[in-house]
């Protein structure tokens, strides 16, 4: 399958204006592009980059919350958090499978994460310092992820769009469990619990806004991705939609946002917000955020420590196949 995909990849590499025009017409007509269809090499590369980055984010994104599983304040909270972190692992697996339909193997993608050629979302380079961070991650990080990912359910590439439908359903549950933690802390909690929630919001608000990527004027890939209908909205459009949806939710909790410039523009109906610290964003995606080194070490260790599991699973699959083949041979005789 992999060799076949490589051949397809070579065939795609050649520039072909006629095929490209036909491809663009299909995209414009909202047809789904499937793995065996002809596609421009740039389209394939863009998808591999984005889907791989997305898959890595889900896997690395298990670490900040995984840090709190043993310290969740009740059995109910522990069970919900455990299930959520497992869901994130599942999302990573779907997304690697979607990327594999484009002729790259999961091993190659993991290798590129570990050698720094591919990225994961900036947000997972921040530490989880209190229980309120579990509420904040569900409410804001999953909230931002959903805002970005609902339009991806209409992405022109079929396998990615279909993976996103299930992922979004689960993310929506994650968002609600996070907001429910926030309600418990802020509306039903003690003054200390509310203060803990406010402190968490103060740390996470700006990094969450950075999740949507650079501003449109600095985004390198948006124009092409919009033309190919991989992206349906620009980074700034989605960021604004998120701020508009989230600020009233924060006010319901009685929290204040760490932004002196945040104000509702009565004419446009949008919440205007202050300038994002793009120097911090660049630093974090260049590898110098608070937890980049720790996260990469965790992934390297997990890859190395998991060698025996992968080998055992492969040996077991081969043994089962040999047994099945032998049974079929006997049945055929």
Residues in touch with ligand FAQ (CB under 6 A): 49-50, 53-54, 57-58, 61, 88, 119, 121-122, 137, 141-142, 145, 148, 210-214, 219-222, 225, 235, 285
- Closer to ligand FAQ by CB, 145 or 150: give it: 145
Determine which helix (DSSP H) or strand (DSSP E) holds 1, and give its type and residue range.
none
Gyration radius from the chain CA atoms: 22
Q: 278 vs 201, 207, 219, CA distance in Å? A: 19, 10, 12
Residue whose CB is less far from ligand FAQ, 10 or 216: 216
Per-residue tokens: 194:
């509310």
Nearer to ligand FAQ, 8 or 122 (CB): 122
Q: How far is the CB of 310 from ligand FAQ (least distance, A)?
A: 23
Considering the complex, what minimum distance in angstroms separates the CB of residue 167 from ligand FAQ? 8
Residue number with the smallest Cβ distance to ligand FAQ: 61
Number of alpha carbons in the 13 Å side-chain half-sphere of residue 28: 6
3-state secondary structure 36-88: CCCCCHHHHHHHHHHHHHHHHHHHHCHHHHHCCHHHCCCHHHHHHHHHHHHHH
Nearer residue to ligand FAQ within complex by CB, 133 or 142: 142
Answer whether 91's CB lies under 8 Å from 167's CB. Answer: yes
| Beta strand pairing call for 263-264 and 271-272 | antiparallel
Nearer to ligand FAQ, 5 or 215 (CB): 215
Closer by beta carbon to ligand FAQ, 20 or else 280? 280
Give the Cα-Cα-Cα angle 96, 24, 103 (nearest 5 degrees). Answer: 25
Tokens read off for 192: 């200390």
Closest approach of ligand FAQ to the CB of residue 25, in Å: 23
Residue whose CB is less far from ligand FAQ, 201 or 285? 285
Least distance from ligand FAQ to the Cβ atom of residue 7, Å: 26
* Cα(94)–Cα(165) distance, integer angstroms: 11
CB of 60 to ligand FAQ, least distance (A): 8
User: 303 is written with which tokens?
Assistant: 């890859």
Phi, psi at 27, each rounded to 5°: -60, -45
Query: ∠ CA(248), CA(253), CA(254), 5° rounding?
Result: 95
DSSP per residue over 4-34, as a string? HHHHHHHHHHS--HHHHHHHHHHHHTTPPB-
Contact call for residues 33 and 93 (beta carbons, < 8 A): no
State which residue, 62 or 253, has the beta carbon closest to ligand FAQ: 62
**Residue 202 C-beta: closest distance to ligand FAQ, Å:** 19
In whole angstroms, how close is the CB of 142 to ligand FAQ at the nearest point?
5
Question: Minimum CB separation from ligand FAQ for residue 113, in Å?
Answer: 12
């Amino acid at each position: 399958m992999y060799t076949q995909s490589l051949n397809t990849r070579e065939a795609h590499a050649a520039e072909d204006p006629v095929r490209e025009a036909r491809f663009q017409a299909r995209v414009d007509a909202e047809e789904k592009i499937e793995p065996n269809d002809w596609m421009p090499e740039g389209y394939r590369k863009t998808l591999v980059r984005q889907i791989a980055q997305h898959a890595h984010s889900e896997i690395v994104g298990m670490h900040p919350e995984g840090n709190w599983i043993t310290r969740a304040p009740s059995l109910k909270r522990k069970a919900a958090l455990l299930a959520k972190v497992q869901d994130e692992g599942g999302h990573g697996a779907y997304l690697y499978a979607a990327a594999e339909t484009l002729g790259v193997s999961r091993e190659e993608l993991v290798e590129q994460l570990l050698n720094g050629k591919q990225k994961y979302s900036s947000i997972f380079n921040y530490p989880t310092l209190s229980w309120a961070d579990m509420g904040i991650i569900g409410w804001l990080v999953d909230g931002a992820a959903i805002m970005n990912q609902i339009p991806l359910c209409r992405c022109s590439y079929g396998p990615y769009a279909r993976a996103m439908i299930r992922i979004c359903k689960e993310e929506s549950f994650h968002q609600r469990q996070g907001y429910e933690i926030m309600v418990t802390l802020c509306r039903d909690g003690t003054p200390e619990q509310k203060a803990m929630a406010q402190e968490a919001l103060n740390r996470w608000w700006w990094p969450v806004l950075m999740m949507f990527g650079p501003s449109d004027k600095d985004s390198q890939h948006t124009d092409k991705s919009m033309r190919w209908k991989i992206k349906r909205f620009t980074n700034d459009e989605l960021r604004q939609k998120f701020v508009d949806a989230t600020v009233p939710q924060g006010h319901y909790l009685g929290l204040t946002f760490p932004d002196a410039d945040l104000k509702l523009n009565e004419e446009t109906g949008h919440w205007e917000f202050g300038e994002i610290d793009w120097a911090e964003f660049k630093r974090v995606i260049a590898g110098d955020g608070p937890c980049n080194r720790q996260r990469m070490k965790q992934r390297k260790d997990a890859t190395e420590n998991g060698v025996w599991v992968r080998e055992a699973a492969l040996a077991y699959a081969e043994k089962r196949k040999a047994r099945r083949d032998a049974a079929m041979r006997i049945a055929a005789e």
